[in-house]
């Protein structure tokens, strides 16, 4: 597709045109010219109000359901939703049926994503069927296109298995994703353990459930070497431990979910299961520590942790409802309410560097991998803004700042 994007302000601190308004010419998916004004000739043109452009964003944790749970979300509609939400890449979690634990399922989900503007990158399960007993076929999956290996929302209880896995993946430069949650400490807890859980009479999940497993995993990483990514941390002590591990030189990165940054357990007063997530929404003390961790660079990535859940498993008693919220559509607008634009863009792009080893530059000669947005518009997220098949959003009726127009990627322009 040949197009000239007009009057776009580039948001890219490494770019000579950073914070400058320019035209961008794209021919057959490649940026061929950037200038204050470009004669578009017979090219199509795109004008959008207060248009800003950054390198494309990547969501490091997305769950649709297909194969096996298409009633929650399909790959086709999910990738369209991701594109209209500003994401040119997504990391696709293995909690499908069958589980993404072998080369054939990796190839299947990739085939379903063909011809979409947003690229899908499978995460292979760390253990067979995500059961925590035997290592999966990680080498074969990486050759087929998996970008990392982890059991979604499941800690590896067998420390020796995690040790062996960390040693094994070093032969092919693989990354282990190690979710941290001690099920025995969590017990029957469903929300953060604290004042709110006591008032509501709900069983609490202490921060210790996350922190004790994180401490063990960091000790294992120090022993084995290799690369480890800790997804969706939620406590102040987790931030401190990862900061210390990085200072020691360990090759560890981490992410935080948008909802854990923006919301606290105070929203649980009406027992609304839209707010039941894993890890749980914590109190303001932990929320501020997470924000500080983003600002000082301890937290590498912000993810929507988009998890589609059908209404039958959400509209029920709080104790029985499944964990998870969709978040692609609301991620950008929610983040700009609490963080500066440059930080939001940096953290939404960071997963591309970590998992794909790709730069985010907007330069002549590079393939166009762009997100288009207006960072200033104020609005409220309503049911009409939900593009996902599932409607389990924690951000319904939440105030937003900044709207996403769409993306240009894989030689396709997708505008909402």
Hey, which residues are catalytic here?
305
- Tokens 């498993």 belong to 313
Integer angstrom CA distances of residue 206 from 167, 209, 272, 281:
31, 6, 20, 11
Integer angstrom CA distances of residue 366 from 37, 349, 360, 363:
19, 16, 10, 6
The tokens for 36 are 């204050």
CB neighbour burial string for 246-278, b if at least 16 within 10 angstroms, e if fewer: beeebebbbbbbbbbbbbbbebbeeeebbbbbb
Contacts 24+ apart (CB under 8 A), 165-170: 165/126, 165/135, 165/138, 166/220, 166/221, 166/224, 166/225, 166/226, 166/228, 167/224, 167/225, 167/226, 168/135, 168/138, 169/138, 169/226, 169/227, 170/224, 170/225, 170/226
The tokens for 267 are 């929203």
CB neighbour burial string for 43-78, b if at least 16 within 10 angstroms, e if fewer: eeebebeebbbbbbbbbbbbbbbbbebeebbbbebb
Residues 6+ apart with CB under 8 A from 124: 94, 100, 101, 106, 136, 137, 138, 141, 142, 146, 148, 149
Whole-number Å distance between alpha carbons of 338 and 344: 9
Helices 236-247 and 208-224: crossing angle in degrees, nearest 10, is 10
Whole-number Å distance between alpha carbons of 58 and 301: 9
DSSP string, 84-114: HTTEEEEEEPS-SSS-S-SHHHHHHHHHHTT
Beta bridge partners of 5: 24, 46
Integer angstrom CA distances of residue 154 from 186, 211, 228:
12, 14, 15
């Amino acid at each position: 597709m040949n197009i000239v994007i007009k009057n776009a302000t580039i948001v890219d601190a490494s770019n000579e045109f950073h914070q400058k308004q320019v035209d961008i010419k794209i021919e057959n998916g490649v940026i061929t010219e950037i200038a204050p004004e470009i004669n578009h000739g017979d090219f199509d043109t795109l004008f959008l109000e207060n248009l800003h452009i950054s390198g494309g964003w990547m969501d490091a944790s997305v769950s649709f359901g297909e194969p096996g749970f298409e009633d929650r979300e399909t790959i086709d509609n999910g990738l369209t939703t991701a594109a209209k939400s500003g994401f040119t890449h997504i990391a696709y979690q293995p909690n499908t049926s069958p589980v993404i634990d072998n080369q054939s399922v990796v190839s299947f989900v990739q085939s379903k994503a063909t011809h979409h503007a947003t690229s899908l990158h499978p995460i292979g399960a760390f253990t067979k069927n995500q059961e925590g007993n035997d290592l999966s076929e990680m080498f074969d999956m990486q050759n087929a296109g998996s970008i990392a290996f982890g059991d979604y929302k499941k800690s590896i209880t067998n420390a020796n298995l995690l040790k062996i896995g960390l040693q094994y993946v070093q032969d092919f430069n693989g990354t282990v994703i190690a979710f941290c949650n001690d099920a025995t400490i969590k017990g029957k807890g469903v929300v953060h353990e604290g004042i709110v859980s006591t008032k509501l009479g709900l069983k609490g999940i202490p921060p210790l459930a996350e922190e004790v497993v994180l401490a063990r995993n960091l000790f294992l990483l120090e022993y084995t070497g290799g690369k480890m990514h800790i997804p969706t941390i939620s406590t102040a002590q987790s931030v401190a431990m990862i900061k210390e591990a990085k200072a020691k030189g360990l090759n560890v990165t981490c992410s935080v979910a948008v909802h854990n940054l923006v919301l606290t357990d105070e929203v649980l007063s009406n027992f609304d299961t839209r707010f039941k997530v894993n890890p749980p929404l914590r109190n303001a003390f932990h929320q501020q520590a997470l924000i500080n961790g983003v600002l000082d660079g301890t937290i590498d990535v912000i993810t929507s942790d988009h998890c589609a859940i059908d209404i039958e498993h959400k509209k029920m008693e709080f104790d029985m409802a499944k964990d998870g919220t969709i978040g692609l559509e609301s991620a950008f607008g929610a983040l700009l309410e609490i963080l500066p634009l440059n930080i939001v863009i940096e953290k939404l792009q960071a997963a591309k560097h970590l998992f794909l080893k790709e730069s985010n530059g907007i330069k002549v000669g590079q393939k166009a991998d762009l997100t288009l947005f207006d960072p200033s518009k104020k609005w409220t997220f309503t049911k009409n803004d939900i593009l996902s098949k599932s409607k389990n959003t924690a951000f319904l009726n939440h105030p937003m700042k900044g709207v996403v127009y769409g993306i240009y990627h894989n030689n396709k322009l997708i505008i909402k």
